[in-house]
Chains A and B, each alone.
Chain A
Amino acid sequence: MLELKNVGFVADGEVEILKDVSLTINERFVAITGPNGGGKSTLAKLIAGIYEPTSGQILLDGVDITHMSITDRAKLGVSYAFQQPVRFKGLQVRDLIRLAAGRKITITEACNYLSEVGLCARDYIDREVNASLSGGELKRIEIAMVLARGTKLSVFDEPEAGIDLWSFQNLIHVFEKMYEETRGSILIISHQERILNIADKIVVIRDGEVTKYGTRDEILPELLESADAGNVACDVLTQKIK
């Protein structure tokens, strides 16, 4: 169980990105959504330990991880898939999968993780994780790494971005399988309705604050309605311009 208690984050000593965020996450799939610049990615980074909160507390299964390093959190069971995956000259896909698994794994095992995310393992296992890989390929390798880790908390920052050729259904299948194996929580930052559709709970973050938090049935209809309202407004404007 992940608990955030009154978490705040001020960047560069002056810009307040998150204000007094309190959340308890114990479900299978929790989606975080909201407008761009609202603080979603910052929240993910605070959980992974990339940023340290300026106020409040973060607890994982009752353990205070607020000031814990990235490494210690990872060892405790936090996985984090970057929104923009990192490239490494020289390191191969198999190296990253092995490091993610944290043990010596067979090529077959490493290949299985790649196949799960829709990559033909034979073509990718020896590839360097460098500029020769496309953004979508990197995204999938990033997801495969989290699969290989199999931890109790997995945080994904917009996992669907750039994987348009691969069906959403497969991505959702990956999350379901991950849950079956880890029985942990999967936290997904996303704007996609199809991802929100599988969430047990949805968090809406706007202007650094949690504006809504509830079950999918409570939150999703409201979200879709306001999205439609947005489209109507656009239509009115379009009509006027015409």
Chain B
Amino acid sequence: MDEIQRTLLKEVADLDALPVGAYNIRANGAAAGRNSTANIEIVPKEDKPGIEIYIKPGTKKESVHIPVIITQTGLTDLVYNDFYIGEDCDVTIIAGCGIHNCGGELSQHDGIHTFYIGKNSKLRYVEKHYGSGDEVSKRVMNPTTIVHLDEGANMEMETTQIAGIDDTDRRTEGDLKAGAMLVVKEKILTTGVQKAKTYFNVDLNGEGCSANIISRSVAKENSWQHFDSRINGNAPCAGHSECDSIIMDHGCVTASPQLTANDIDASLIHEAAIGKIAGEQLMKLMTLGLTEKEAEEQIVNGFLK
């Protein structure tokens, strides 16, 4: 692995060396390292690119790292990763994709991740996207995440994309059985002429299940973002979505939330707010001695922290 690849790995998975526990590192469309453990088995798919990850019931406090890095220009990488998480688990999966592209052509990674989360299992899923390179070489990432939560299962998904990606089309879909809970925290920052589209569809099918989708985004310069969320309450359940955006320069954000209640006891809420940084916030930080630009940076960094 060269210096650039090591930097990407550090950015997306916070890894300086090979991780402890199970991992699968994919570099430029091929496997670059894999390790299974007693409780977590990673096997390559036979019919298409990607892996299958099997986590034994009762596995607790273990983690899986599955970073993807691309440094080859002109590469389009498509993978299908399926996660089978047994009952009563408590695990963390750290995904992430880093593209460094200076070659003039488009580099793209499309990851389709499907999760089957067993009864009463708890999963924390962290996904970070990062891009670097020159301005003419395009970097594209289109992640699809499909989650099936069994009774009492709990998933917390944290996704972060801070600049560097020219075009992204994110899709997250979930269905929840009784007592299951899904929390999604998404953070997106776009600059230049970047585009980001994010789509959520959650079906709350079981009694007492809940979903909370929180999206915070910043659109700078001439970038464009579209937030589209659909929460369908098909049982006595609770759904909440929140889209909070800061626009700067000529940035553009569309928030298009949709709630559908198919059950009299479905309680669904959406909150959306789009606006520039409040003048009084800038002023407050300036009274602490920060310049307007420094104040802006602090506010944006805090907002996306």
List residues of A (35-90) whose CB comes within 8 Å of B's CBs.
48-50, 69-71, 74-75, 78-80, 82, 85-86, 88-90
Interface contact B288-A100, CB-CB below 8 Å: yes
Judge if A229 is at the interface, Cβ distance under 8 Å.
no
Instruction: Give, as a whole number of angstroms, the nearest-CB distance from B252 to chain A.
Output: 20
Asked, given contacts A75-B289, A99-B290, whether A86 binds B304 with beta carbons under 8 Å apart, the answer is no
Could you jot down 26 A-B contacts, CB within 8 Å?
Answer: A49-B287, A50-B283, A50-B287, A70-B283, A70-B286, A71-B286, A71-B289, A74-B287, A75-B289, A79-B287, A82-B280, A86-B278, A86-B283, A86-B284, A88-B299, A88-B302, A88-B303, A89-B216, A90-B299, A90-B302, A90-B303, A90-B304, A91-B298, A99-B298, A102-B288, A145-B288
Q: Please tell me if A116 contacts chain B, counting CB pairs below 8 Å.
A: no
Interface class of chain A by DSSP: mixed
A27 interface residue per 8 A CB criterion: no
**Looking across the interface, which residue of chain A has its beta carbon closest to that of B300?**
A90
CA A149 to CA B286, docked complex, whole Å = 13
Within the complex, the shortest CB–CB distance from B255 to chain A, in Å, comes to 16
Q: Does A137 contact B (CB under 8 A)?
A: no
Q: Is B305 an interface residue (CB 8 A)?
A: yes
Tell whether, in the assembled complex, residue A89 and residue B283 are in contact, meaning their CB atoms are under 8 Å apart.
no
Q: Which of A74, A85, A86, A96 contacts B289 (CB 8 A)?
A: A74
Complex alpha-carbon distance, A90 and B244, angstroms: 11
> Bound state CA distance, A82 and B287, in angstroms?
10
Q: How far is the CB of B29 from chain A (nearest CB, A)?
A: 36
- Answer whether residue A95 sits at the interface, using C-beta atoms and an 8 A cutoff: yes
Given A74-B287, A91-B298, 17 additional A-B pairs, CB 8 A: A50-B283, A70-B286, A71-B289, A71-B290, A74-B286, A74-B289, A75-B289, A85-B284, A88-B281, A88-B303, A90-B299, A90-B301, A92-B302, A99-B285, A99-B290, A149-B288, A149-B289
Candidates B244, B281, B288, B291; contact of A99 at CB < 8 Å: B288
A interface residues (Cβ-Cβ under 8 A, vs B): 48-50, 69-71, 74-75, 78-80, 82, 85-86, 88-92, 95-96, 99-100, 102, 145, 149
Q: Given A50-B283, A82-B284, decide whether A89 and B289 contact each other with a Cβ distance below 8 A.
A: no
- Note all chain B residues with C-beta closer than 8 A to A95: 298, 302
Contacts of B265 in A (CB 8 A): none
Nearest Cβ on chain A to B304's Cβ, whole angstroms = 7
CB distance from A4 to the nearest CB of B (A): 18
How many angstroms between the C-alpha atoms of A71 and B292 in the bound complex?
8
Query: Which B residues lie within 8 Å of A88 (CB)?
Result: 281, 299, 302-303
**With a CB–CB cut-off of 8 A, which chain A residues contact B298?**
91, 95, 99
A71 and B291 form a contact (CB under 8 A): yes
A102 to B278, CA, bound (A): 22
CB distance from A127 to the nearest CB of B (A): 13
Q: Which residue of A lies closest to B287 (CB)?
A: A80
Residue of B nearest to A80 (CB): B287
* Measured CA separation A80–B283 after assembly (Å): 10
> Which residue in chain B gives the minimum CB-CB distance to A129?
B302
Chain A residues with Cβ below 8 Å from B288 are: 74, 96, 99-100, 102, 145, 149
Cα–Cα, bound, A99→B297 (Å)? 12
How far is it, in angstroms, between the C-alpha of A78 and the C-alpha of B286 when the chains are bound? 11
Cα-based distance from A21 to B286 in the complex (angstroms)? 25
Closest Cβ–Cβ distance, residue B163 to chain A (whole Å): 17
Query: What separation, in Å, do the CA atoms of A70 and B287 have in the docked complex?
Result: 6
Closest residue of chain A to B292 (Cβ to Cβ) is: A71
Q: Check A48 against B287 for contact (C-beta < 8 Å).
A: yes
Q: Mark B184-224, 1 if CB is under 8 A from A, else 0.
A: 00000000000000000000000000000000100000000
Expressed in whole angstroms, the Cα–Cα distance for A70 and B280 within the complex equals 12
* Cross-chain contact of A102 among B283, B289, B301 (Cβ < 8 A): B289
Q: Bound complex: CA of A90 vs CA of B245, how far in Å?
A: 12
Which chain B residue lies CB-closest to A92? B302
How far apart sit A49 and B301, CA to CA, in the bound complex (Å)?
A: 25
**The residue from B244, B292, B302 contacting A91, defined by CB atoms under 8 A apart:** B302
Q: CA separation between A86 and B302, bound complex, in Å?
A: 14
Provide the residues of chain A in CB contact with B291, threshold 8 Å.
71
